[in-house]
Amino acid sequence: MRAQRAVGVTPASLRARAARSPLCRLLPGTPWGREWLVTLAHPRALAMRVAVPLALAVPLVAGGAPTFWAAMLLTVLVAMVGAVGSAMTLARARASGHLVRLAVAPGPPWRPVGEWVLASAAVDAVQLLPALAVTVAGGGAGPAAIAALALTVGSTLLAANVLGCALALLAGGAAEVLLDVAVVLAPLLFLGGLFTGVPRQGWRLVAARLDPFSHLHSSLIAALGGERTFSAAEDAAAALGWAALALVLLVPLGGAMLRRR
């Protein structure tokens, strides 16, 4: 008892800490369930993660910001949310030894990490949903623009989370992974034409057509009421292609993540 008091831990404080959220006492059976339970067990953190994108979207829409630049800021936000979230989570899990326990679980080695990344992308989508709803409502987007936006947001979040998984595999720790995300995302966003626009010809046009962030930017411009860079069909097709590629890449990345632990 004296040792507990010396570090400020008492039975009463432990009971109070456990009673803050009943979700904290649940034992999820899969990484998918764990990610959702951890998110829902901290409602204050979840509220902040929803409020920050909303605080960015509301002034952009209400203030009538130019659609190109407003869409650029929202695209950068989606990219950062997706890549940083999964990269930090997986880097910390590897450092804490949690991946060691996942490695001995029955089933293919890519499944636990794959579930983790997919759950992270789903949580990111929920986090961004209010801000995207404000964007759609303020821009008066039609059904085609909304459908293309939903596809591009979903595929970009999935691709960004898979990118975060790859960076967590290569990085030396949670602190290093933040720098890696910024270094990798900056040229990808530039090639997508977010800072300078997409040229009408040349290799930059080809690079933009292959860049998932370029198609998200195009869909956000249309949702805000501007003239999109690519057609809605091209944005939707690129989104489906990138989603399929991201799911395929999860197989080798998940296995490599558990082997390296």
Spell out the domain ranges in the chain.
Answer: 42-260
Burial class (CB in 10 A: 0-12, 13-18, 19+), 146: middle
Rounded to whole angstroms, what are the CA distances from 56 to 42, 77, 79, 128, 235? 22, 9, 15, 11, 24
Average confidence (pLDDT) over 140-155: 90
Write down the pTM of the prediction: 0.82
pLDDT band at 104 (very low <50, low <70, confident <90, very high): low
Contact 259, 175 (CB under 8 A): no
In which element (H, E) is residue 56 found? helix 43-62
* Span 12-68, pLDDT tens digits: 554 455 445 454 444 455 777 777 777 777 888 888 888 989 999 999 888 888 999
Question: What is the pLDDT averaged over residues 5-17?
Answer: 48
The C-alpha atoms of residue 202 and residue 132 are separated, in whole angstroms, by 32
